[in-house]
Structures are given as structure tokens and as C-alpha cells.
């Protein structure tokens, strides 16, 4: 009787110890999962502060990075204490990755190329974040192995004691199996969820049976699956952003190639211009010797216009040099139209002489002559205005010609945009499209290019150039 009672007490004690051990293991597993999730969250905050520091060079961001790094290291230390042995060694690898990240930041933060720094830190952070799923699996496998050993030990002990007393073994086994099912069934459900996660299926089902700790562990699995899914989405988003950045770089290269092709076409279009320039100078001298001053002035303006085109071909000029070219062009057109068209300059005093691509204003004025006032029989007028407005230099070419219908104006604007995107001529306004592409390539998106026109009321082409170009 005493033996049975003693055996019963031993069985009961073993059950209590095993249950306590199992609950402790579940609690330890919950703590480890929480610490690991907090570590990756802190690592993300550390990376964000580091990349902000590389971009802005703000020491406050660097201090935030140091604090986040220290917190992440402390979380790894707590996690390593929960898993002694081989698992602890593998956890230390995460600390090595933090040190590698820190060394990269210390090596790069003194550099001037923040873009390379940003990309290097992004690469290091992606390597670290990509380990999250594997380390969650590592902790799960460690707990599962320990629980397996515990269950086997527990079962052997029960079998050894109940072997002496078969009758007591039968009763103890009955209650043990019931209690074991209550614990292992939710564990099996969690193992099934883990297998789903390993297959890439993150829509896991909650664990509804078992003790409260098991349910909390099941909820933690669901949160972990959601965090992994969010990280995958973030990685895909970052990859898409990198792809867009590469496309923009390729676009810049294509724009440079377009400029080279434009320059080549311009050179191919010249039919021995130096010979033509020398011939015009000879005619001007002959006209001067013969006393024909009007012809002399006309030839001198044509020569000056041609010389400007030769000297500034494929080069950068200035606003004042462009206006000087327009004065020669206006003189020639004034003689050509013999008073039927009035050409005038309205230039504000002390305008900044900022750089701009050569031969950009003359095609705009010529466009007004060809498309604007060609059919105006009298009182036609072309005005070039230049004035400063806040932090922009305003250049306007206005004519009182026939103007354009709204549909025609919309087609012109669309052709300019499409031409700038595809780097090829798609419309009929070749000169206007060429000017727009070169201005966009030089000034970028800050350039303002506006066309206002109404049928019977003329056309105004306005350029808004940022004065930062003056620097």
C-alpha cells in the first residue's frame, strides 16, 4: 500500500514537474520570439537613423543610430542567455552582422559620395533583415528539440515507475495520455503552422485549444507571420525603387546620347559654313567700297549671326550673348519684311547674365515669324521680353499673329512632352522641339516652358529659368 502510494506520489510529482517544465519552456519560447522580433525592429530603426545620417550629416541622427545599435546588442545578449550551446553561437552571428554594419558606416560616413554610402548600408540592412525567417525557424527548432527530449524522458520515467505496478500504470497512463493530448495537440497545430510558413504560406490558423500560454504562443506565431510578410513586401518595394533609380540613370545616359546625336546632325547640316562666312565678309567689304551702306550693314549682321552660330555650336552661351544674336536677327528680318513687321526688344536693366544653351532664343523668334505672322499683311509685331521675377528669369516671345486653336495647342504640348520622353522628333515643330529638349536637359525639371495661344490673338512662348543657374 505504501509502495503504491509512493509510486502515485512519484507519478504525480513527475507530472507536475513535467507540466511546470513545459509551461516554462513555452514561456521561454514566447520571450525569445518577442526578443527576436524586437531585435529586428530595432535593427530597422538603426538602419533608418544611419541612412538619414549619411544623407543629412546630422549628429542627432548618428546618436539615434548608436542608441538603437546598443539596444539591439542588449536584445541579442538576452536572447543568447535563453539558448545556451550551439543556438547561442548562431545568435552571436547576428552580433557580428551588427559590427560589420557599424564598420561599414564608420568607413563610409567620412566619404563624400553619400549615394554609395546609402546603397552600401541598404545592402547590409537587407542581409540582416533576410535572416529573420531563418532565426525564427532556428528558435522553433531548438524549442521543438528540447520539448521532444523532455517528452521522451517524461514518458520513459512514467513507464519505468508504472512497470512495477501495472495496475497503477494503467490508471496513470490513462490520465497522462489525456493531459498529454491537451498539451501536444496545440503544439502539433503550431508545428503545422510552422510548416506552412516554411512553404511560403503565411495565412496560418490560430490555435484555439490548450492552455492560455499556448494560445499566446499561437498568437505570437500569427504576428510573426504577418511581420515576415510585411518584410517581404518591403523588400519588393525597395527592389522596385532600385529598378526605377536604374531606369532614371539609363534615361540620363540616353539624354546625353541624344545631345551628342543632335550635335552631330547640326555639324552634318553645315555646308562649309566658314567658306560662306568669308564670302559674306568679302561682299560686305565690296559693298562698303561701292558706298552701299545699307547692304554693308545687312551683310555685317548676317556675318555676325553666322559667326555666333559657328563659335557657339554645341557649346553653352549666356543670356546676353543670346540677346545680341537676336538683335542681329531682328535687323535682318526688319529689312526682309520692309516695315510690314515690327521687331522689338523689351529688356529689363541689370538682368543676370546666366548661362544657357546657345541658339535657343533665335529658333523661338523664328517660329513666331514662320508660324505666327506669315499671313499677317500689316501691323505684324514680334516682341522679345526679358525681366526678372523673384528667383526666376522670365523670357517671353510674343507675336500678334493668327494664333492656334485649343486643339492644335494641345497637340503641340503633347508632342513636346512625348518628344522629351522618347528622345525623337514626333511632331512638326522641329525647331521648337529641339529647343525644348536642350533646355530640359540643361536646366532639368525646374525649367518652366509655357505656350499661350488663342485663335486670332497671337501666341506667347514663355521661359522660366531658375536663377540658381547663375552660380
pLDDT digits (tens, 9 = 90+) for 355-381: 989 888 988 998 888 888 877 878 889
User: Given pLDDT bands bounded at 50, 70 and 90, which one contains residue 292?
Assistant: confident
Residues in the chain: 471
Predicted confidence band of residue 395 (pLDDT cuts 50, 70, 90): very high
Q: What is the mean pLDDT of residues 245-265?
A: 71
Please report which confidence band the pLDDT of residue 345 belongs to, taking 50, 70 and 90 as the band edges. very high
pLDDT confidence band for 457 (50 / 70 / 90)? confident
| Cβ burial, residue 71 (10 Å; 0-12/13-18/19+) | middle
* The 341-347 sheet, strands edge to edge: 341-347, 380-389, 392-399, 459-466, 448-453
Comparing CA positions, the residue from 417, 427, 431, 312 lying closest to residue 362 is 431
Q: Does residue 470 have a pLDDT over 60?
A: no
Report the predicted TM-score, pTM, of the whole model to 2 decimal places: 0.42
Residue 123 has pLDDT above 90, yes or no: no
DSSP for 123-187, written as a single string: HHHHHHHTTHHHHHHHHHHHHHHHHHHHHHHHHHHHHHHHHH-HHHHHHHHHHHHHHHHHHHHHH
pLDDT, averaged across the chain? 77
What pLDDT was estimated at residue 88? 77
pLDDT digits (tens, 9 = 90+) for 266-282: 544 444 555 565 666 66
| C-alpha grid cell, residue 77 | 545578449
Domain 333-470 grouped into CATH 3.50.30.30? no
Residue 404 has which C-alpha cell? 492656334
Pick the residue with more confidence: 141 or 203? 141
State how far the Cα of 310 lies from the Cα of 273, in Å rounded to an integer.
8
Kindly indicate the confidence band of residue 293, based on its pLDDT and cuts at 50, 70 and 90.
confident
All structural domains of the chain with their residue ranges: 2-247, 333-470
- In percent, how much of the chain has pLDDT > 90? 10
Give pLDDT, residue 425: 46
More confidently predicted of 290 and 21: 290
- Provide the 3-class DSSP secondary structure of residue 9: helix
- Which of the given ranges, 92-96, 201-205, 247-251, 325-329, has the highest pLDDT on average? 325-329
pLDDT of residue 427: 43
pLDDT over threshold 60, residue 462:
yes
What's the average model confidence in pLDDT over 328-335? 86
pLDDT band at residue 149 under the 50/70/90 scheme: confident
Amino acid at each position: 500500500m505504501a509502495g503504491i502510494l509512493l509510486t502515485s506520489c512519484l507519478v504525480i510529482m513527475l507530472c507536475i514537474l513535467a507540466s511546470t517544465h513545459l509551461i516554462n519552456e513555452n514561456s521561454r519560447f514566447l520571450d525569445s520570439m518577442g526578443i527576436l522580433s524586437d531585435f529586428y525592429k530595432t535593427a530597422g530603426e538603426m538602419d533608418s537613423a544611419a541612412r538619414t545620417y549619411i544623407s543629412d550629416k546630422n549628429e542627432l541622427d548618428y546618436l539615434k543610430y548608436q542608441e538603437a545599435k546598443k539596444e539591439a546588442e542588449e536584445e541579442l545578449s538576452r536572447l543568447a542567455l535563453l539558448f545556451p550551446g550551439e543556438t547561442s553561437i548562431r545568435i552571436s552571428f547576428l552580433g557580428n552582422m551588427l559590427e560589420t554594419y557599424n564598420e561599414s558606416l564608420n568607413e563610409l560616413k567620412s566619404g563624400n559620395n553619400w549615394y554609395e554610402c546609402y546603397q552600401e548600408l541598404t545592402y547590409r540592412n537587407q542581409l540582416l533583415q533576410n535572416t529573420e525567417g531563418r532565426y525564427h525557424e532556428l528558435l522553433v527548432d531548438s524549442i521543438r528539440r528540447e520539448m521532444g527530449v523532455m517528452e521522451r524522458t517524461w514518458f520513459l520515467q512514467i513507464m519505468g515507475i508504472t512497470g512495477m505496478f501495472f495496475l497503477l500504470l494503467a490508471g496513470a497512463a490513462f490520465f497522462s495520455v489525456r493531459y498529454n493530448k491537451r498539451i501536444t495537440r496545440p503544439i502539433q497545430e503550431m508545428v503545422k503552422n510552422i510548416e506552412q510558413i516554411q512553404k511560403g504560406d503565411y495565412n496560418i490558423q490560430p490555435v484555439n485549444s490548450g492552455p492560455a500560454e499556448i494560445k499566446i504562443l499561437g498568437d505570437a506565431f500569427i504576428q510573426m507571420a504577418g511581420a515576415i510578410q510585411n518584410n517581404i513586401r518591403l523588400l519588393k518595394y525597395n527592389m522596385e525603387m532600385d529598378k526605377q533609380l536604374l531606369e532614371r540613370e539609363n534615361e540620363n545616359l540616353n539624354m546625353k546620347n541624344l545631345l551628342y546625336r543632335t550635335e552631330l546632325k547640326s555639324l552634318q547640316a553645315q555646308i562649309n559654313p566658314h567658306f560662306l562666312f568669308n564670302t559674306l565678309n568679302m561682299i560686305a567689304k565690296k559693298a562698303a567700297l561701292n558706298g552701299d551702306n545699307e547692304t554693308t550693314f545687312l551683310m555685317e549682321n548676317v556675318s555676325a549671326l553666322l559667326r555666333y552660330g559657328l563659335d557657339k555650336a554645341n557649346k553653352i552661351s549666356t543670356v546676353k550673348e543670346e540677346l545680341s544674336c537676336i538683335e542681329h536677327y531682328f535687323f535682318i528680318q526688319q529689312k526682309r519684311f520692309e516695315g510690314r513687321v515690327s521687331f522689338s526688344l523689351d529688356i529689363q536693366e541689370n538682368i543676370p547674365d546666366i548661362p544657357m544653351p546657345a541658339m535657343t532664343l533665335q529658333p523661338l523668334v523664328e517660329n513666331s515669324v514662320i508660324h505666327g505672322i506669315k499671313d499677317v499683311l500689316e501691323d505684324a509685331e514680334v516682341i522679345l521680353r526679358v525681366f526678372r521675377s523673384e528667383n526666376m528669369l522670365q523670357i517671353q516671345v510674343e507675336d500678334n499673329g493668327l494664333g492656334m486653336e485649343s486643339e492644335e495647342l494641345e497637340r503641340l504640348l503633347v508632342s513636346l512632352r512625348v518628344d522629351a520622353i522618347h528622345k525623337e522628333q514626333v511632331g512638326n515643330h522641329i525647331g521648337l522641339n529641339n529647343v525644348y529638349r536642350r533646355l530640359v536637359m540643361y536646366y532639368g525639371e525646374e525649367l518652366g516652358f509655357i505656350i499661350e495661344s488663342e485663335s486670332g490673338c497671337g501666341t506667347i512662348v514663355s521661359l522660366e529659368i531658375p536663377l540658381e543657374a547663375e552660380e
